[in-house]
C-alpha cells in the first residue's frame, strides 16, 4: 500500500512539473544543467531530472524520474533541500 502511494505521489509530482513546464517553456536554467534535464516551473524555479527508473517501467508501473528542485534567490540559483522534520504552521 505504501509503495502504491509512493508511486502515485511521484506520478503527480511529475505530472505537475510537466504541466507547469509547458506553461513556462522559456525559463532560464541554472549554469551547468543540461537543457534536457531542466523542467522550468516558473521564471524563478525549476526541477532538475537526474535519472529515471526503467526497471519499474518494465514491470508495468508508471515511469518515474529522480531529481531536485532549484529556485533563484537574489539572482542566484540555489538547490532546495527539504527539512528532515516537519513543522506545524499556524493558520492565518
Task: Please state the φ and ψ torsions of residue 71, each to the nearest 5 degrees.
Answer: -140, 155
Q: Is 42 helix (H, G, I), strand (E, B) or coil?
A: strand
Q: What confidence score (pLDDT) does residue 65 get?
A: 84
- Distance between CA atoms of 8 and 13, rounded to whole angstroms? 9
Residue 51, pLDDT score: 87
**pTM to 2 decimal places:** 0.55
Residue 1: the pLDDT is 52
pLDDT the model gives residue 58:
66
Spatial CB neighbours of 35, under 8 Å, sequence gap ≥ 6 = 29
Query: Domain ranges in the chain?
Result: 2-79
Question: Given this model, what pLDDT does residue 36 score?
Answer: 92
Q: Splitting the chain (92 residues) into consecutive groups of 10 residues, what average pLDDT does each group show? A: 53 54 60 94 93 69 85 94 77 78
Give the Å distances, CA to CA, from 42 to 34, 50, 75: 17, 19, 14
Amino acid at each position: 500500500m505504501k509503495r502504491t502511494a509512493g508511486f502515485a505521489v511521484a506520478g503527480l509530482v511529475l505530472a505537475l512539473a510537466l504541466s507547469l513546464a509547458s506553461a513556462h517553456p522559456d525559463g532560464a536554467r541554472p549554469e551547468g544543467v543540461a537543457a534536457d534535464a531542466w523542467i522550468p516551473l516558473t521564471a524563478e524555479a525549476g526541477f532538475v531530472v537526474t535519472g529515471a527508473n526503467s526497471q519499474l517501467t518494465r514491470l508495468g508501473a508508471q515511469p518515474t524520474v529522480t531529481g531536485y528542485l532549484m529556485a533563484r534567490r537574489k539572482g542566484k540559483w540555489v538547490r532546495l533541500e527539504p527539512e528532515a522534520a516537519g513543522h506545524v504552521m499556524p493558520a492565518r
